Amino acid sequence: MTSLKNDLFLRACKKLPIERTPIWIMRQAGRYLREYRAVREKADFLTMCKTPELAAEVTIQPVDIIGVDAAIIFSDILVIPEAMGMTLEMIESKGPKLYDPIRNIDQIDKLKKIDPTQDLNYVLNAVSLTKKELNNRVPLIGFSGSPWTLMTYMVEGGGSKNFSEIKKFIYNQPKAAHKLLDLISDNVADYLSAKIEAGVNAVQIFDTWGGILSPNDFNEFSLQYIQKVISKINRNDEPIIVFAKGVHFLLDKLATSGADVIGLDWTMNLGEVRNKIGDKVALQGNLDPTILYADDEKIKEETKNILSSYGFGSGHIFNLGHGILPDVNPSKAKYLVEVVKKESKIFHKV
């Protein structure tokens, strides 16, 4: 940590004393930035992910442009299913498509246990290059989808409105589902371990679709596999963040999953969650992303409300409660960062 010029994010993850609350923004390298769109005109999305020079360039853009306290490597969670043998296409304005979605155990038997240094080497190269170009200015975060979220995409074949195929799969073929989740868990753990080896300072596990499960099903099909991934990651003191969108009901179990930080969506009260689990883990979040459509006064008011809700002391990383939306004015994101940096100082005594 000490080699970084700005290690506020890492210290907050570990609940160590800090001078102010750090901030980064989910999807901060993305379409809302003019500079990102200029790079995107040169290459399609997957080509950007697979070209280390382009991935590094857009990863660093938010650090330079809006002043965030951490960078997150530009990639996509679906590079893992692709590396396992599925065909992935990113369809403009529609989202991802995975061909021949998984519907039975025979298809699972054809999927591969990946070697990240071979199958996802382009991501590791992007990490190495980004680290070099960041020159220790801020920490670099690596990420993956959770096993459950990745399986959901693999079974549905893309996004979904009602998640009928994945629900049919887990209820009618539970053994197949658990077999696939085991394989994905091994791949995710190896992938995140390889990212740490390549130089990331922290990793985040996105359980985007955890909230579509009942509490019992979340326990069975998501939480135990998040725990398995965390237990198998090779790390030194690199923090692990778990962001399970919509999972209000098992925060206490998430807090004992082995994660250092729990990310919260905007529907949760930060102060109440701190009272419930904040002695066990640091918390990340949780401004409603649509607040960035508002005027500066409203942005400042809501930001101060979140800072006040968490209260005094370390253990809070400011973030949005989900990804920044693509039509947000970058000046609003920059203003948010400035407000957090200024207004959070009163909550920290070093």
Q: Identify whether 34 is a catalytic site residue.
A: no
Judge whether 321 is annotated as a binding position.
no
29 is in an annotated binding site: yes
Catalytic, 76? Answer: yes
Active-site position among 76, 115, 186, 288: 76
Residue 8 zone, left/alpha/beta (φ > 0; ψ -120 to 50; rest): alpha
Is 36 tagged catalytic?
A: no
Q: How far apart are CA 98 and CA 85, in angstroms?
A: 10
- Is 85 labeled as ligand-binding? no
> Known binder of ligand: residue 323?
no
Nearest to 120 by CA among 182, 214, 197, 23: 197
Q: Which of 7, 20, 27, 279 is catalytic?
A: 27
- Among residues 147, 143, 135, 144, the alpha carbon closest in space to that of 182 is found at 147
Question: CB-based contacts of 194: which residues, under 8 Å, 6+ apart?
Answer: 116, 117, 120, 124
Rounded to a whole number, what is the distance in angstroms from the first to the last CA of the chain?
17
CA–CA dist 35, 45 (Å, integer): 15
The answer to whether residues 259 and 281 touch, using CB atoms and an 8 Å cutoff, is yes
11 assigned ligand-binding residue: no
Amino acid, single-letter form, for residue 312: F
Catalytic residue among 7, 20, 31, 115: 31
Q: Indicate if 99 belongs to the active site.
A: no
Distance CA 182, CA 100 (A): 20
Q: Any catalytic annotation for residue 7?
A: no
Q: Is 171 annotated as a binding residue?
A: no
Distance of CA 55 to the CA centre of its chain: 16
Annotated catalytic residue, options 153, 191, 225, 310: 153
Q: List the Cα angle 319/123/59 in 5-degree steps.
A: 40
Is the Cα dihedral 255, 259, 264, 269 positive or negative? Answer: positive
- Which sequence positions are flagged as catalytic? 27, 31, 40, 76, 153
Binding site for substrate, by residue number, is 27-31, 76, 153, 208, 322
Binding site, by residue number, is 27-31, 76, 153, 208, 322
